[in-house]
Amino acid sequence: MAAALLSVPGAVVSASADTDGALREPGCAKLVGSGWGWADIHNACGHTISATVEVDGWDPSCIQIGPGGTGRIGLDPGDEPYYAYEC
């Protein structure tokens, strides 16, 4: 298992390769659930965002999610979302 040491002013955080998705979600968009053909993205911020998820191949179109809300995005059959991000 690979490990990384991340230096942030005022904090030291260690992370393993198992948490790569969490490391890529520093903004407001958080992947909170998924299933066959869908993924749920939570907006952890107090303003509206546009977001999507990372999958192999073409990423789905961005959707708007209101402050503190959760939006469901459609996925192609077989797509597995890795993490959410703002677009």
- For residue 56, give Cα distances in angstroms to 44, 66, 75, 79: 25, 27, 11, 7
Please count the structural domains in the chain. Answer: 1
Q: Give me the domain span that covers residue 65.
A: 20-86
d(CA 55, CA 21): 12
Residue 25 lies in a domain: yes
Q: How far apart are the first and last CA of the chain?
A: 31
Residue 57 lies in a domain: yes
Per-residue pLDDT band for 25 (boundaries 50, 70, 90) equals low
3-state secondary structure of 23: helix
Residue 65 has a pLDDT of 99
Residue 70 lies in a domain: yes
* 45-74 pLDDT tens trace: 999 999 999 999 899 999 999 999 999 999
Contact between 21 and 30 under an 8 Å Cβ cutoff? The reply is no
Residue 79 lies in a domain: yes
Residue 42 lies in a domain: yes
Residue 6 lies in a domain: no
Residue 12 lies in a domain: no
Residue 11 lies in a domain: no
Instruction: Read off the CATH number of the domain in which 61 is found.
Output: 2.60.40.20
Whole-structure pTM value: 0.72
